[in-house]
Amino acid sequence: MSAPDEDTFAEEGGEMEEMDESGSEDDEGDVMEDEGADEEAKKKVYVPGIEPLQAGEELEMDRSAYRMYHECQTGAPCLSFDILRDGDGDGREQFPLSMLLCAGTQADTALSNRLIVMRMHNLHGTEKEKDEEESSDEESDEEEDEDKKPQLELAMMPHYGGINRVRVTRRGEQSLAAVWSEKGQVELYDLQPQLEAVHSSAAMAAFIQQQKEATALFSFSGHMSEGFAIDWSPTVPGRLVSGDCKKNIHVWEPQERGTSWQIDQRPFSSHSKSVEDLQWSPTEATVFASCSVDQSIRIWDIRAPPNSMLSANEAHSSDVNVISWNRAEPFLLSGGDDGLLKVWDLRQFKTGRPVANFKQHSAPITSVEWNPTDSSVFAASGADDILSQWDLSVESSDVGARVEGVKDLPPQLLFLHQGQSEIKEIHWHPQMPGLIVSTALSGFNVFRTISV
C-alpha cells in the first residue's frame, strides 16, 4: 500500500501489495538470471554468500517456492511487532486468510511515532502461472483479481517517542500491549478501541474523530535507561518481565483490578551489560531466560532474587542479541552479533556448550523464533537482509540430491528468503502453520514457503 500521510493517526483502509510477478533485485531472489543465455538454461539457483552476482545478472523471485506472499508498508518503519491471537481458530490453512498485528514505529521525530493495530485480510495464496491456452475472458480475470486483492486496515495511536519493542497478550477480556520506548519507560496499553476500529468502518470513523495521544493503562519509570527486552508470561496471565540497557531486569506482578501491576524495585542483576532479550519458560511459571551484551545467557527463578540460577558465560563471542524458548522441548535458541545460531539443551546448560551451532548468516542475528507447531523447526533473520528457515530433525543421510553448486549448505537449512532491507523482527503465526511475518526498514512481508 502507499505510505499513509505522516500526520494521519488512523486510516480506515489500505492496500497491500501482492507478489511482483516480474521479479526484480528487490524481490525474494531464489533464481538468478544471466542476460543473453537461453530462456531455460540461463536460470539457476542463487545462494547468498556462495557466489556473488555477476555483471548482467539479476535476482528474480521464484513464485513456485512460496505458498503465499504479500507485503505492506506502514509509513515510518516498525522496529518491532507482535501477533494478536484472534477468534478464528487454530491450524488455519484455507485461503483467504486474515490476521491481526500490533506494531510500533521508529519515525524521524518523536512526535511522529504511532502504536498501530493492523488487520490484514483477504490474503490469498500464490497461484501457479496459467497456461496461455487457459487465459480466456480478460474481463472476468480482472474481476477475479479484484476479488482476491488483499486488504489492510490500520488503527494508529500517536505515541511520543520511538517504540523499541512491542509484545502483546490476552488477560481475561483485555488485549494488552507492552511497549518499551526510547523515553526509558515501559508502558501497557489496552488495545480494545483499536481492535474495534479495524473490524468496523463506523468504529474506525469514531476512533479517528476522537484521536489523541495514546494513554497508557499503566507505566513503569523505574528502569534507569531505555531497553529492548520484554516478555509476557505464557502461564500466568498479565505477568511481565522487562530488562534495560543498564543490565537490570524487573518482574511485574498483575493485581486483581486488571489496571495495575506491582513491580519490585530491586532488580535481578547478574548481567554486567545491557539485557537484550528475555523469554519466560513455557512450562515453569517462575522461570525465565535472558541474554546480554556481556556475551552470556542466564536462567532465573523469580523466587530467588537477585541472582541467576544458571548461566553460560561465554555463550557467544560477542553480544547475544536474541533468544527463543522452545514450547515443547527443553531447548533454547540464541543468535548473536557473531552471526551464529546456537541451540542449547537446558538439561546440559551447566556445561556451557550448545548442542547445535549454525553459521549461515554473514552479519549479526536480529531475530530468532521456534515454530510454535513444529518443535524441530525455527527461523532466524540477520543484518545481512536474509531470513532463514531450519529443521533440526533433518540428518545428513536424509538429504537427497543437492542443487549443483550448493553442496556446502547445512542439511538442516530449509529456505533462504530475501528482498527486505534491514530485517528487524520475525514471528511465526501461532494459528496458521508455517506462516511467517517479518518487519524491516522496507516494510512487512507475510509469507509461507513450500518448505514448512
Q: Could you read off the pLDDT of 151-187 as tens digits, one per residue?
A: 999 999 999 999 999 999 999 999 999 999 999 999 9
pLDDT attached to residue 55:
77
| Tally of CA atoms within 13 A in the half-sphere of 66 that contains its CB | 29
Band (pLDDT 50/70/90 cuts) for residue 28 is very low
Cα–Cα distance between 367 and 382 in angstroms, integer?
7
Q: Would you give the end-to-end CA distance of the chain in angstroms?
A: 27
pLDDT attached to residue 235:
97
pLDDT attached to residue 35:
44
State the average pLDDT over residues 322-344. 98
114 vs 138 pLDDT, higher one: 114
* Residue where the block lists cell 511485574: 252
Q: Buried (b) or exposed (e) across 371-387, using 16+ Cβ within 10 A?
A: bbbeebbbbbbbbbbbb
pLDDT attached to residue 129:
46
State the average pLDDT over residues 266-288. 97
Band (pLDDT 50/70/90 cuts) for residue 6 is very low
State pLDDT tens for residues 388-399. Answer: 999 999 986 555
Band (pLDDT 50/70/90 cuts) for residue 27 is very low
State the average pLDDT over residues 206-213. 87
The DSSP element (H or E) to which 178 belongs, if any, is: strand 174-181
Band (pLDDT 50/70/90 cuts) for residue 33 is very low
State pLDDT tens for residues 396-449. Answer: 655 544 555 555 789 999 999 999 999 999 999 999 999 999 999 999 999 999
pLDDT attached to residue 29:
42
Query: How large a percentage of the chain has pLDDT more than 90?
Result: 75
pLDDT attached to residue 225:
95
Mean of all residue pLDDT scores within the chain: 87
pLDDT attached to residue 140:
64
pLDDT at residue 271 greater than cutoff 60? yes
**Peptide bond before residue 96 is cis, with ω within 30 degrees of 0:** yes
325 vs 54 pLDDT, higher one: 325
pLDDT at residue 131 greater than cutoff 50? no
317 vs 258 pLDDT, higher one: 317
Query: How large a percentage of the chain has pLDDT more than 70?
Result: 83
pLDDT attached to residue 139:
63
Q: Buried (b) or exposed (e) across 162-180, using 16+ Cβ within 10 A?
A: bbbbbbbbebeebbbbbbb
pLDDT attached to residue 258:
73
C-alpha grid cell, residue 248? 537490570
350 vs 256 pLDDT, higher one: 350
Nearest to 216 by CA among 251, 173, 260, 153: 260
62 vs 191 pLDDT, higher one: 191
